[in-house]
A and B are shown apart, each in its own frame.
Chain A
Amino acid sequence: MFYGVSLTAFLVALWLTLSGPFTLSGDYPIVMTVGVISIAATVALTFRMRIVDRETVPVGPMVPLFAYWSWLGGEIFKANLAVLRMVMKPEIDMEPRLIRVPAEQRTDLGRCVFANSITLTPGTVTVDIEDDGFLVHALDGEFTDPAGFAEMGQRSDVATDGRREAK
């Protein structure tokens, strides 16, 4: 129920942002009615699909997720500069690698965030998902530092799993 209310509140805020009239004069009652109908239909459909849970409505880990994203932004910036240097050098010198990165996140959401973070960082792309890790293609040996992957994995785990859910 908590997730249903959060989803509704989020959709109302999104609708008001994207097409929001804040008055009820003129044609706006019709626009407002259409908005209410579309939000109600979306919430009803997601409930019917039974996917309203912690994973689809991540309100719990929202604050840690934003903190994680700002840290990730810094990492992406550094990796971007590294790829930029590599690509713009007059003489390209690199050695692409395919490595296995262990993924020890406790939840699927954590694994998903970790895999996406690896792909989002230029120089490394998650190529395949295996049971206990990812197959990662790296542009050069300098992008395959195991400690860097371990830190990113640990941070993504903490960000998505700050509050364990009792099953």
Chain B
Amino acid sequence: MSPAEIFHYVLFAASVAAMSAGLVFVLAGAIGVNRLPDFYTRMHAAGVTDTLGAELIVLGLLLQSSDWQTFAKLALVGLLLFLTSPTATHAIANAAHRAGHKPMLSRFKPAHPKDAGKPAGEG
């Protein structure tokens, strides 16, 4: 294999690795939205999806772009996500806060599913 070919394969492997890592974070965000107790805490889980999840997938696509224009456009997509997602998150959080939605501030520690149904203190 020529050095150019090796470089191509390394780039491809890095791209696949970045996108797979992005998928893990997107999945974790989705799981978090389902598992966490109230509106504000679920918002944090959604934040994982639109920061590292989305950015890693864009990074993976960046490494596969064939010409500089595609590269620049994808970089712009990443930058715009970086700049707009906190604004959107803040808008949602602020709307909930102003509407008088109170966050749950006590300790949240649900029992393990295996212990469900047993009285506390056993097992």
**A52 on the B face (CB < 8 A):** no
Contact digits for A65-93, partner B, Cβ 8 Å, 1 yes 0 no = 00001000000110010011001101111
Contacts of B90 in A (CB 8 A): 115-116, 119, 125-127
Q: Give A13's nearest chain B residue, CB to CB.
A: B72
Q: Give A129's nearest chain B residue, CB to CB.
A: B94
**Residue of A87, A88, A119 touching B89 (CB-CB under 8 A):** A119
**In residues 88-115 of chain B, which contact A (Cβ within 8 Å)?**
89-90, 93-94, 96-98, 103-112
Q: How extensive is the interface on chain B, given as a class?
A: 35 or more
Nearest chain A CB to B64 CB, angstrom units: 18
Contacts of A88 in B (CB 8 A): 28, 31
**A110 on the B face (CB < 8 A):** no
Contact digits for B60-82, partner A, Cβ 8 Å, 1 yes 0 no = 00000000010011001000001
Contacts of A135 in B (CB 8 A): 97
Contact yes or no, A18 B48, CB < 8 A: no
**A146 on the B face (CB < 8 A):** no
**B40 on the A face (CB < 8 A):** yes
Please measure, in the bound complex, the distance between the C-alpha atom of A116 and the C-alpha atom of B108, giving whole angstroms. Answer: 27
Contact yes or no, A20 B69, CB < 8 A: yes
Total contacts A-B at CB 8 Å: 119
Q: Give A77's nearest chain B residue, CB to CB.
A: B52
Measured CB to CB, the residues of B under 8 A from A are: 24-25, 28, 31-32, 35-36, 38, 40-41, 43-45, 47-48, 51-52, 69, 72-73, 76, 82-83, 85-87, 89-90, 93-94, 96-98, 103-112
Contacts of B87 in A (CB 8 A): 116, 119
Number of A interface residues in the complex (CB < 8 A)? 37
Contact yes or no, A139 B44, CB < 8 A: yes
Please measure, in the bound complex, the distance between the C-alpha atom of A139 and the C-alpha atom of B40, giving whole angstroms. Answer: 8
Q: Give A88's nearest chain B residue, CB to CB.
A: B28
Nearest chain B CB to A26 CB, angstrom units: 18
User: Can you name 19 extra interface pairs (CB under 8 A) apart from A92-B109, A128-B94?
Assistant: A17-B69, A17-B73, A18-B76, A77-B52, A80-B52, A83-B28, A83-B44, A88-B31, A94-B107, A96-B40, A116-B86, A119-B87, A122-B51, A125-B43, A125-B47, A126-B93, A127-B40, A137-B43, A137-B103
Contacts of A17 in B (CB 8 A): 69, 72-73, 76
Please measure, in the bound complex, the distance between the C-alpha atom of A70 and the C-alpha atom of B45, giving whole angstroms. Answer: 22
Nearest chain B CB to A165 CB, angstrom units: 22
**A27 on the B face (CB < 8 A):** no
Please measure, in the bound complex, the distance between the C-alpha atom of A161 and the C-alpha atom of B96, giving whole angstroms. Answer: 32
- Decide yes or no: A69 and B47 within 8 Å by CB, A83-B32, A135-B97 being known contacts: no
Please measure, in the bound complex, the distance between the C-alpha atom of A122 and the C-alpha atom of B29, giving whole angstroms. Answer: 10
Q: Give B88's nearest chain A residue, CB to CB.
A: A119
